[in-house]
Amino acid sequence: MYNITAMTNRPTVIVTRRLPERVEAELARDFDVRRNADDHPFTRDELAAALRQADGVLCTVTDRIDAAVLAAAPLRARILANFGVGYNHIDVAAARARGLVVTNTPGVLTDATADLAILLLLMVARRAGEGEREVRAGAWTGWRPTHLLGHMVSGRTLGIVGYGRIGRATARRAAHGFGMRVLIHTPRPPAADALAADGVAAALPLDELLAASDFVSLHCPATPATRHLIDARRLALMRRDAYLVNTARGDVVDEAALVAALREGRIAGAGLDVYEREPALAAGLAELENVVLLPHLGSATLETREAMGMRAVTNLRNYFRGGEALDRV
Ligand code: 8YV
């Protein structure tokens, strides 16, 4: 056990990216912190070195910590405190095999991410990206009755894939805020009365949900089972006038198949915040007019990033005080 209040013998924590000021200040109270001054994404060698040099590593989605990186020796790190709820960039089984505890930050980014899903839903339905590009390009010739006509979301059907915290928060916004008919797909649907309270009309098998929805929003974690869950076959089940929204993880969608479906008009459009090979995009995606592309902004509010950071600090503190890490995955 470490004495984290004494000035000496404080655990060393390597923080792979710059964090909001308040979080960095909080970390410095209890830990010997090594920062990444210029905020560059760590290389595999830097990640392996961090595992050799620090007692804890506070990491993010840009750190691919796979079995090869985790083979670092001699291993000093005991905990990977992930800044974020999704942890598909960490090989958790390999980490456990090396005795590392892995934590995440659930709960604190639910509302921010659900807000972003609704933002993308509205942007694709109302052609906001196209309009914004037109105005900036100086190509707007003035108001006319038939200009950039989009579609209402009210009264339309939203299919939500994955019904954890974020899926549920998105369902409630869509049903109660916009009067949408909400369908969900999830391996273990909550009881009917709980779904009714959220404004959910029905839980359906995935293929049925895809065929019945005007908008499909993804909220499942990236796991081997959900990799390319939305592939060419499932895109073909969607309606030609339907839109896909992804604020979950890029791996859930076969991005090349999505580009083909969009290009050929087999679905109407897509709003994406996450990609298979961030920050790279599938060939052709950025050239399409009927997509809105955001740079992984799901949790990007100051309030949320501070809360995520504080949660990661709490996980580190609890662990080094010898207690149970709060958000062990
Ligand atoms: C984070 C996210 O910004 O928490 C997640 O799973 O995708 C984002 O909200 C990112 O993961 C930070 O590491």
**Span 58-75, mean pLDDT?**
98
Distance 70 CA to ligand 1 centre (A): 21
Closest ligand 1 atom to residue 86 Cα is 6
On average, the pLDDT of the chain sits at: 96
Across 82-111, b (16+ Cβ under 10 Å) vs e yields: bbbbbbbbbbbebbeebebbbbbbbebbbb
**Span 23-29, mean pLDDT?**
98
Q: Is the CB of 85 under 6 A from ligand 1?
A: yes
Q: Is the CB of 84 under 6 A from ligand 1?
A: yes
**Span 68-88, mean pLDDT?**
98
Closest ligand 1 atom to residue 17 Cα is 13
Closest ligand 1 atom to residue 59 Cα is 13
Using most ligand atoms within 8 A of CB, pick from 58, 109, 226, 329 the residue to mutate for ligand 1.
109
Classified as helix, coil or strand, 125 is helix
Q: Which two tokens stand for residue 71?
A: 């083979």
Write out the catalytic residue numbers.
249, 278, 296
Q: Identify any residues that bridge with 217 across adjacent strands, giving them in sequence order.
A: 160, 245
* pLDDT on residue 8: 55
- Closest residue CA from atom 6 of ligand 1: 86
- The fraction of the chain above a pLDDT of 70, given in percent, is 97
Closest ligand 1 atom to residue 83 Cα is 13
Alpha-carbon separation of residue 200 from 49, 123, 136, 156, 322 (angstroms) = 48, 23, 39, 13, 42
Phi, psi of 89 (to 5 degrees): -85, -5
Q: Is the CB of 87 under 6 A from ligand 1?
A: no
* pLDDT on residue 5: 52
- Please, are residues 52 and 76 in contact by the beta-carbon 8 Å criterion? yes
Distance 109 CA to ligand 1 centre (A): 8
Distance 300 CA to ligand 1 centre (A): 9
Closest ligand 1 atom to residue 299 Cα is 9
Distance 105 CA to ligand 1 centre (A): 9
Long-range contacts of 88-95 (CB under 8 A, 24+ apart): 88/221, 88/222, 88/223, 88/249, 88/251, 89/59, 89/61, 89/62, 89/63, 89/64, 89/65, 90/59, 90/63, 90/65, 91/65, 91/66, 91/67, 92/329, 94/66, 94/67, 94/70, 95/65, 95/70
Measured CA to CA, the distance from residue 116 to residue 16 in angstroms comes to 25
State the pLDDT confidence band at 39, using cuts at 50, 70 and 90.
very high
pLDDT at 228 over 90: yes
Distance 86 CA to ligand 1 centre (A): 6
**Which amino acid belongs to residue 271?**
G
* pLDDT on residue 4: 56
**Span 242-268, mean pLDDT?**
98
pLDDT at 247 over 90: yes
pLDDT at 7 over 70: no
Residue with tokens 């080094």: 320
Q: Is the CB of 299 under 6 A from ligand 1?
A: yes
* pLDDT on residue 241: 98
Q: Which two tokens stand for residue 126?
A: 């109302």
Distance 55 CA to ligand 1 centre (A): 23
Q: Which two tokens stand for residue 63?
A: 């750190």
Q: Which two tokens stand for residue 20?
A: 């909001």
State the pLDDT confidence band at 268, using cuts at 50, 70 and 90.
very high
Closest CA to 329 of 112, 135, 74, 59: 59
- Please, are residues 112 and 89 in contact by the beta-carbon 8 Å criterion? no
Q: Is the CB of 157 under 6 A from ligand 1?
A: no
Q: Interhelix angle for 110-125 vs 165-172, to 10°?
A: 50
Query: What does the pLDDT look like over 157-207, one tens digit per residue?
Result: 999 999 999 999 999 999 999 999 999 999 999 999 999 999 999 999 999
